[in-house]
Amino acid sequence: MKALIATALLFVGSCATIRHSEKIDNLKSSITYDNKAVVENYLNTINSADLKIHLEEVSSDKYNGRKTGEEGHNQVCDYIRDYYKNNQIIAPESYSNYYQKVPKSALPDGLNDSQNIIAYIEGSEFPDEYVFISAHSDHEGVIDGQIYNGADDNGSGTAAVLEMAEAFSLAVKEGYRPKRSIVFLHVTAEEVGLHGSRYYTENPVFPLENTIATLNIDMIGRVDDRHIDNENYIYLIGADKISTELHYIAQSANKTFVNLNLDYKYNDDNDSNRYYYRSDHYNFALKGVPVIFFFNGEHEDYTKPTDTADKINYPLLEKRTKLIFATAWYIANAETRLKAEII
């Protein structure tokens, strides 16, 4: 009798497992790029030379380390904004100058008013559904007379967002407007506690319930110690925490276009670094928005004045940017809206 019960339980258990793995298989096989050649065409406009131009600009000494509320950061924000203007990528109606003011009352004591930058491409079929691509624009400023250039942190993410925006806007000009709207968000005050992204999610320009994913980039231009022998990698954090579908979309994008090694070490809830909680995507996740944090891990120049543009691995930055672009393309153009559910 005992044995029989045990067998019956085992049977039920394995059925549930089969059903679950079937669901996952069905989900995975549903994620395909029907128009691979089209995506590849725009993906291939993302190149290390352009990324280098943007990264060298935003991390240059003239911006004095881009500290929130300071002149250097305001000037780099102007550079970013002008780029959107020049590429005819529009500002939201409510912030027609691209700047969402983040008042000093929303920032730690001693900082001046600052701003998030918001630009977007309106979708053709579902314009009220929004895919976000985000990166923080600020860094540490000047400390003890030394400029903290923040080339990787987060010149790399800033350059990647600009380069993807150009690729998407080129696609629009050639008749491939995304089905859903794509929002390019450069948040301020990350280094002092994720305040820019918190301010955005407390004062959203586009409804959070229709914000279907946020792809956040914070440091994707370098290689950490764990990957010195094989630099063809990127860490993905958070992808499966709110949407199983998002997790597999990123995998499909990777397999179809770039073949990086996707490293999930820091996606582990028990990892002591707790990176999931440490960049701007987390404020979106708190509101139930599916997120992915794209990250290269820490390195010897992390949060040091030696994080400079000459140390960036530009071909790798290009490859990682392409992965994010392909992921965003899929979410923005899928027949059905990304599901915020765990399977």
For residues 116 and 154, which CB has a smaller minimum distance to Zn ion in the complex? 154
Q: How far apart are CA 148 and CA 139, in angstroms?
A: 7
Q: Which of 218, 224, 263, 280 binds Zn ion (CB under 5 A)?
A: 218
Contact 341, 212 (CB under 8 A): no
Q: Write each residue from 160 to 199 as x if it is in contact with Zn ion (CB under 5 A), else as -, in one continuous string.
A: ----------------------------------------
Q: What is the phi/psi pair of residue 202, to 5°?
A: -85, -20
- Residue 129 binds to Zn ion (criterion: CB under 5 A): no
Q: Taking the complex as a whole, how short is the minimal distance between the CB of residue 219 and Zn ion, in angstroms?
A: 6
Q: Which of 50, 70, 138, 153 binds Zn ion (CB under 5 A)?
A: 153
Give the binding range for Zn ion (CB under 5 A) out of 31-39, 56-64, 215-223, 270-278: 215-223
Structure tokens at 160: 């990647």
Three-point CA angle 60, 307, 85, nearest 5°: 40
For residues 153 and 166, which CB has a smaller minimum distance to Zn ion in the complex? 153
Q: Taking the complex as a whole, how short is the minimal distance between the CB of residue 138 and Zn ion, in angstroms?
A: 9
Q: Taking the complex as a whole, how short is the minimal distance between the CB of residue 153 and Zn ion, in angstroms?
A: 4
Give the binding range for Zn ion (CB under 5 A) out of 216-224, 233-241, 284-292, 307-315: 216-224
- Residue 152 binds to Zn ion (criterion: CB under 5 A): no
Q: Taking the complex as a whole, how short is the minimal distance between the CB of residue 294 and Zn ion, in angstroms?
A: 12
User: Strands 291-295 and 233-237, how do they pair?
Assistant: antiparallel
Nearest to 317 by CA among 306, 329, 325: 325
- Helix, strand, coil % (nearest 5) of the chain? 50, 15, 35
Residues 6 or more apart whose CB falls under 8 angstroms from that of 268 comprise: none
Nearest to 303 by CA among 150, 108, 192: 150
Contact 326, 319 (CB under 8 A): no
- Residue 154 binds to Zn ion (criterion: CB under 5 A): yes
| Contacts of Zn ion in 223-242 (CB under 5 A) | none
Residues near Zn ion (CB under 5 A): 153-154, 218
